[in-house]
Amino acid sequence: MQKDALGRLTIDTKALRSNYRLLQDKVGATVRVSAVVKANAYGLGAVHIAKYLKEEGCVDFFVANWQEGQKLRAAHPDINIMVLNGFYPDVGEIYLNDTLIPVLDSRDEITSYGAFARKVGRQLPAMIHCNTGMNRLGMDMPLVHEIAGDPAMMAGIDLICVMSHLACADEKDHPLNEHQRAAFAEIAALFPNVPKALANSSGIFLGSDYHHDMVRPGMALYGLNPVPYADKNPMAPVITLDLPVICKRSTPSGAAIGYGAAHIFAQETCVATLSGGYADGIFRSLSNKGALYWRGVRCPIIGRISMDMLSVDLSAVPNEQRPEIGDRLELIGPHQSAADIGDLIEGSFDYEVLTSLSPRYERIYTH
């Protein structure tokens, strides 16, 4: 087989669509299911992901910043794009021209966005983010009450949704969930004619009291597990990632491999070197700890992972069945999930594994 220098990230769009439909069924037809596509749709490719979700009826997409919104708008003129990090007045014309909807989270943002709206002579759409306990972004309760009681504060602004964000929804019994639900219910009562949004991926599974008018899944769409406390992940796996063999050799007993001679061979060993390293989002901390799979057989990573390469021990694979140059080993797939990899890395988890996926990987969208 011919040598291939690129890792290959395969995105199963049927599984993506299935996950969207599952979430829509979970919340019911009266609740809008949006899609969080920030960080390039968690590494899967926001422009492509939006295309497939649009075909399932999704019209609301959340990005982190205006740069992401501008790129998405260029490909999709017919969707709603909300910017979670709010409004930046020095690029107000970009919000205007690309119809980007800011999620406002402070008095200053309300003031600057309202002033910009009046300057251009238009009523401009916005959401507001209320802090119910996450304590990152969001308006605290006194300001929320002030806005509700003084419509003049929102002059020039068309308030299209009130939202908050759950901090511990992946822990179903965490007391902060109920605290945030109750706090948001109080906020919702202040804005009776405005749509509300509270639930993220995991929040959808906390029950209908968290659903309101719109839910904002991200990770669940991409196959990550929104209910880690349950016996089974309800979402279909969306991605596989495999790396090509670019070199294969028999390494003698006593020899070392890689930087720092971090692995010494106790016996003669068949080794495959693969194209993919920490520049591709394969954490260096997986050195001498992680593994890839060849036809279901675990092949341990040996030595240090370098910028563009890593090596695996093929000893567990029968000699006549070992991969050749150009064959591909599975890093993420049926034998190892992003969550499995995250569990091997202290302080990491599946979100980080997914969002670290390199732009160097060839991305293939299967239908």
- Residues catalogued as catalytic: 38, 259
From CA 28, how far away is CA 30, in angstroms rounded? 6
Q: Hey, what long-range contacts does 346-353 have (CB within 8 A, 24 or more apart)? A: 346/285, 348/283, 348/285, 350/219, 350/224, 350/225, 351/42, 351/219, 351/224, 353/281, 353/283
From CA 160, how far away is CA 282, in angstroms rounded? 41
From CA 205, how far away is CA 261, in angstroms rounded? 48
Could you tell me the two tokens for 337?
A: 């999930």
Q: Quick one: DSSP state of residue 321?
A: G
Contacting residues for 164 by C-beta, under 8 A, at least 6 apart: 129, 130, 131, 132, 134, 138, 180, 183, 184, 187, 197, 198
